Amino acid sequence: MSVNKVIKRISTSLVRDMKKNGEKISMLTAYDFSTARILDQAGVEILLVGDSAANVFAGYDTTLPMTLDHMIYHAASVARAAQRAMVLADLPFGSYQGSTEDAYNAAVRMMKEAGVHALKLEGGLEIIDNIKKIIQSGIPVCGHLGLTPQSIYQFGDFGVRAKQETEALKLKEDALALQEAGCFAVVLEKIPANLAEEVSKSLTIPTIGIGAGAGCDGQVLVVNDMLGLTQDFKPKFLRRYLQLAEDIKQAAAQYVSDVKSGDYPNQNEQY
Ligand code: KIV
Long-range (24+ apart) CB contacts under 8 A made by 79-83 are 79/114, 79/115, 79/116, 79/117, 80/33, 80/115, 81/30, 81/33, 81/34, 81/36, 81/37, 81/40, 82/36, 82/37, 82/40, 82/47, 83/9, 83/40
Pocket test for ligand 1, best of 62, 66, 95, 187 (most atoms within 8 A of CB): 187
Continuous segment of H or E residues that includes residue 104: helix 100-114
pTM of the model: 0.96
Worst-scoring range by mean pLDDT, 12-16, 231-235, 237-241? 231-235
User: Which tens digits make up the pLDDT trace of 2-46?
Assistant: 655 566 899 999 999 999 999 999 999 999 999 999 999 999 999
User: How many A from CA of 66 to the centre of ligand 1?
Assistant: 13
- pLDDT at residue 217 is higher than 70: yes
Q: Using CA atoms, how far apart are residues 173 and 169, in angstroms rounded to an integer? A: 6
Report the pocket of ligand 1 as residue ranges, CB < 6 Å.
Answer: 29, 48, 50-52, 90, 187, 189, 210, 220, 222
Total length of the chain: 271
Q: 62 burial class (0-12, 13-18, 19+ CB within 10 angstroms)? A: middle
Between the alpha carbon of residue 226 and those of residues 109, 117, 231, 242, the distances in Å are: 30, 24, 11, 7
- pLDDT at residue 1 is higher than 60: no
